Amino acid sequence: MADTGAPLPRRPPLQALLQEMWASVPETARRLLALAADVAVYSFIAAMWLNNAANAAAIFSRWACGEDSPAVAAAMKVFKASLLAMGAFVPFASPLLIWRSFGPPTERRESGGGAAKAQAASVQRRRRDGTGACRREEGSYGPVALFSVVFAWWVVIVGVLLRDLAPEKGSCQHKVGSVLTDIGGFANSAMLCFVSAPNMVIFLMRDSRR
pLDDT: is 85 or 122 the higher one? Answer: 85
pLDDT: is 180 or 1 the higher one? Answer: 180
pLDDT: is 196 or 140 the higher one? Answer: 196
Mean pLDDT for all residues in the chain: 78
CB 177 within 8 A of CB 33: no
Residue 7 has a pLDDT of 57
User: What value does the mean pLDDT take over residues 51-73?
Assistant: 93
Which whole-number Å values give the CA distances from 183 to 6, 59, 143, 151, 208, in the listed order? 64, 9, 21, 11, 36
Distance CA 148, CA 60 (A): 19
Instruction: Classify residue 196 by its DSSP letter.
Output: I
**Tens of pLDDT along 5-55?**
555 556 556 666 666 776 777 778 778 888 888 899 999 999 999 999 999
User: What value does the mean pLDDT take over residues 137-144?
Assistant: 60
Lowest mean pLDDT among 15-29, 83-97, 109-123, 190-204: 109-123
Angle at CA of residue 41, ends 189 and 100, nearest 5° = 100
Lowest mean pLDDT among 4-8, 16-20, 149-153, 187-191: 4-8
Residue 10 has a pLDDT of 61
Handedness of CA 204, 194, 152, 60 (dihedral sign): negative
Residue 146 has a pLDDT of 82
- pTM for the whole structure: 0.70
Distance CA 85, CA 95 (A): 17
CB 90 within 8 A of CB 108: no
Which whole-number Å values give the CA distances from 197 to 75, 132, 148, 177, in the listed order? 20, 20, 15, 28
Which whole-number Å values give the CA distances from 17 to 9, 13, 22, 23, in the listed order? 16, 7, 9, 10
Is residue 94 pLDDT above 90, yes or no? no
- Cα distance from N-terminal residue to C-terminal residue, the chain: 54
